[in-house]
Structure 1
Amino acid sequence: MKEDRRLPHYLHFLSKFSKTKTAYVFFILLTYAFGYLSAYYHRQPPQQPESTSAVRTVKCPIDSFRVTTRCGDLVPPELIRRTVIDRIFNGTSPYTDFPPPHAAKYLRPKRIKGWGSYGAVFENLIRRVKPRTIVEIGSFLGASAIHMANLTRRLGLEDTQILCVDDFRGWPGFRDRFKDVALVNGDVLLMYQFMQNVVSSDFSGSILPVPFSTGSALEKLCEWGVTADLVEIDAGHDFNSAWADINRAVRILRPGGVLFGHDYFTAADNRGVRRAVNLFAEINRLKVKTDGQHWVIDSVNVN
């Protein structure tokens, strides 16, 4: 007791308080709270140091996707057919001895199907441009190519050549709709049926298949110096495909030539073909016209 009397008043109070049940409960609660706060602190992610500069969003300029292939010296229009046959078919027309025996029994005499293949735009442009060479990107079974060949013949343009760029593989699942296009050992006979349609329509002297992907075919036509007065773009209908095809196709277009294509107005609205066409025109300060479901860009001269 003598020692207690020597303690300061507040220490004396704490000494007596610590011996009570209330103090025991208080210390238990304090310990629990300290443990909880300590665990919460360690669960927090470490704070990142503040950067002295703002976060940058890297944007690829559209020019990075432009085609820069160097085109060869221009081939005269009258030599374009021979050039393509020599370069692609080793000097022999693909129609020679057509059809091959293994495919003949699978082909229909004529199986022509297309979309937007008979629009007024074809005659409007052919009458105005009077093309010596037409390149069609995306041909399928040849409906629009045969229609253009009919128009050129009727308009007295007997020497016009139409080059049809297509890999002639269709698309995954297309045979669900076109079961009559034969499949032999995994090889869909789409090109043979295309050629059969051309032969049946008597245009084997005017229409040539170029059986490769649009990208590789257009690059090679450019390198070979093959150019066209009209280029129709009707292959892939998503933005990326249409954008790539347009920028490659313009490389083989004669100065003052015309680019045109289908599917400008679709359910994709401004996410597909229309977006690609409009962006190309905006960048190159060109004007887009429409003719039915087709888009048209006149007098293109892009370096």
Structure 2
Amino acid sequence: MKEKEDQPSLHRHQHQKRIVNVTKKLFANNAAYVILLLLSYALGYLSSPTSHTPPPPPTTPIVVSSKPSSSITLTRLTDNVPVPTNQLDNFRVTSRCGDSLPSQLVRQTIVDRLFNATSPYTNFPPPHVSQLLRTKRVKGWGSYGGVFKRLIDKVRPRVVIEVGTFLGASALHMANLTRQLGLDTQILCIDDFRGWPGFRDKFKDIQMINGDVLLYYQFMQNVIYFNATEAVLPVPYSSGSALMKLCEWGVVGDLIEIDAGHDFNSAWADINRAWQILRPGGVIFGHDYFTAADNRGVRRAVNLFAKINGLQLQTDGQHWVIDSAVN
């Protein structure tokens, strides 16, 4: 009986002995030892009851607003990170404009706010540039197209806002057209009057003092030459900052021309900001719909703006036209 009881113990002893012998052989081989160590680690990691993958951070779902596109509703992932309700919201202009000024107050408002209540034409030109200006130097592109007369005849604007002026060709043309109709029209010319890098390669007669090109002074000289100082007033700032301030001050235009930057982003921003300050029933229009500049983004910006706002777009020669009265 005792011999039978000892048999399982003997078998266990022999089995353990075989394991020890195999282990000795494995440990005698360095590569086998490393493999065994890695297998042991992997088995231990996989058998762990706790997941080692960090949980994703909690998020708040984006809720699409049912409000009109002019109003943006935001949800928040954190207190400081607003999430737009759709992809176009990042590109919309939603500033609130001030109450619309009567047209007869527009000129004095600009003079007061920009020029310390004194007309910029007073005591012009300053001595340091008087010998550097030409009596007149007017140059533009598409500045005398029939679209100007047709729109002025139709709209009979009290306030015209021009975005992109250069030397004032189209502004002076519009001043002459409104004068012929007996209109008391104020034309605001938004431009930083810096031109573009390298423009003096084509306009070598535009002088420079200490790196300051004299476009602004030559523009003013042109206005004086054509006796248009009461009708044409410069707003010598970038289009973005100027349009934003006109919106804030309640300055609105019956007719707005866009002809500044020709890349998509510049044209898109100018059109959207100008639309905000267009008087109901007014017309916004611009150049370069059918010129080489359309490849740089003007036409794309105009088409997209009209499409997402459901507006009718017309063309007149090289110009595009959006009439708010029919939209």
Match of 1:259 in 2: 284
Match of 2:110 in 1: 84
Cα contact 1:239–1:276 (8 A) shared by 2: yes
Contact 1:74 1:226 in 2 (8 A): yes
CA contact (8 A) 2:252 2:277 kept: yes
- 1:37 aligned residue: none
How do 1:217-228 residues align onto structure 2 when only pairs under 5 Å count?
217-228=242-253
Aligned residues of 1:255 and 1:301 also touching (Cα < 8 A): no
Between 1 and 2, higher relative CO (CA 8 Å, sep ≥ 6) is seen in 1
Pair 1:206-2:227 in alignment: no
For the Cα contact (< 8 Å) 2:312–2:326, is it kept in 1? Answer: no
The reply to whether residue 141 of structure 1 matches residue 141 of structure 2 is no
Deviations 1:43-81 (A, max 9, x none): xxxxxxxxxxxxxxxx97122111121111111000000
Letter in 2 for 1:210: V
Q: Compared with structure 1, are the counterparts of its residues 300 and 137 closer, same or farther at alpha carbon in structure 2 (3 Å cutoff)? A: farther
- Structure 2 CA distance for aligned equivalents of residues 91 and 300 of structure 1: 35
Separation (CA, whole Å) in 2 of partners of 1:269 and 1:234:
12
Counterpart position of 1:182? 207
Cα displacement (A) at 1:266: 2.4
Residues 77 and 216 of structure 1, relative CA distance in 2, 3 Å threshold:
same
Question: 1:152 aligns to what?
Answer: 178
Task: Give the counterpart letter for 1:160 in structure 2.
Answer: T
**What is the aligned partner in structure 2 of residue 47 from structure 1?**
none
**Moved beyond 4 Å, runs of 4+:** 268-271
Paired positions, count: 244
| 2:250 equivalent to 1:250 | no
Sequence identity percentage: 72
Unpaired runs of 5+ residues, structure 2, are: 1-84
TM-score, normalised via structure 2 length: 0.72
2:136 paired with 1:105 = no
* Match of residue 65, structure 1, among 66, 77, 91: 91
Cα distance in 2 between the residues matched to 1:269 and 1:98: 38
SS in 2 for 1:258: strand
| Residue identity matched to 1:170 | G
- Pairs within 5 Å for 1:1-303: 61-157=87-183, 159-269=184-294, 272-299=297-324
- Shift in alpha-carbon separation, 1:205–1:64, aligned structure 2, 3 A: same
- Kindly tell me: are residues 195 and 244 of structure 1, through their superposed partners in 2, closer, same or farther at Cα, counting changes over 3 Å? same
Per-residue Cα deviation, 1:66-117 (whole angstroms, up to 9, x for no partner): 1121111111000000000001001000000011111111000000000000
Secondary structure in 2 aligned to 1:297? strand
1:274–1:86 CA distance, 2 compared to 1 (3 A) = same
Q: Secondary structure at the match of 1:221?
A: helix
Distance 2:292 2:208 in 1: 31
SS in 1 for 2:282: strand
Q: Which residue is 2:32 aligned to?
A: none
Specify the SS of the correspondent of 1:104. Answer: coil
Corresponding letter in the other structure for 2:146: A
Aligned residue type for 1:196: Q
CA drift of 1:300 comes to 6.0
Partner Cα separation in structure 2 for residue 166 and residue 269 of structure 1: 20
> Cα distance 1:145–1:268, how it changes in 2: closer, same or farther (>3 A)?
closer
CA contact (8 A) 1:242 1:272 kept: yes
Residue by residue over 1:201-226, the C-alpha shift from the partner in whole angstroms, topping out at 9 and shown as x without a partner, is 00000000000000000000000000
The RMSD of aligned alpha carbons is 1.7
- Superposed displacement of residue 271, structure 1: 5.1
The whole-number CA distance in structure 2 between the counterparts of 1:269 and 1:235 is 13
Return 5+ residue gaps in structure 1 as ranges: 1-58
> Partner of 2:227: helix, strand, or coil?
coil
Q: State how far apart, in whole Å, the 1-side matches of 2:191 and 2:166 are.
A: 7
Amino acid in structure 2 at the alignment position of 1:94? P
Distance in 2, Cα, partners of 1:74 & 1:60:
30
Give, in angstroms, the shift of residue 256 of structure 1. Answer: 1.3
> Helix, strand or coil for the counterpart of 2:324?
strand
